[in-house]
Amino acid sequence: TLKDCQDALLQLQEEIPNDGKPARTTPDAKKCISKLRNEFQVKMSDDLSTSLILTGAFLKALKLVNNLLTMLKKKQQKQQRLLVIQFLKEIEKGVTKVLDVLGLQPPCSYNEVSGFTYYTMLRFMPSVKF
């Protein structure tokens, strides 16, 4: 889900206005990120609950990302599309921050990891054709 979000945002980068003004965060994005942040802090305050953070608000945030990605595939007015893109950017930042704190965020992009894995496999198994 996060990779799909990053790929979509990369493709839609030219649609995002770059007028020097900070992007406006939608109330829904603020609510989702706030809920994710609050639940993360509460559940992380007890070391025994670290696995619980991957459910609840975190899972809802990922489901929301999937729904927003589906919305982007549908025809929309430009202003609505820009709001969806901005919402995706904000949610992606919040989810990435949680994964980073948990040590689950790779130090490089998913595409770099995929490329590294591919070239590593070629190096150690040169006779295998992909």
Give CA–CA dist 79/71, Å, rounded: 13
Give the residue with greater pLDDT, 41 vs 1.
41
Predicted pLDDT at 16: 65
Segment 7-58, tens digit of pLDDT: 888 877 776 666 555 556 667 778 888 888 888 888 777 766 667 777 788 8
- pLDDT range class, residue 108, cuts 50, 70, 90: low
0.75 exceeded by pTM: no
Segment 57-88, tens digit of pLDDT: 888 888 888 888 888 888 878 888 888 888 88
Predicted pLDDT at 87: 85
Residue 105, pLDDT above cutoff 70: yes
Predicted pLDDT at 112: 61
**What residues contact residue 15 under an 8 Å CB cut-off, 6+ apart?**
81, 82, 85
Domains of the chain from N-terminus onward: 2-124 (1.10.730)
Residue 127, pLDDT above cutoff 60: no
Give the distance, in angstroms, between the CA of residue 10 and the centroid of all CA atoms in the same chain. 12
Give CA–CA dist 122/130, Å, rounded: 9
Predicted pLDDT at 86: 84
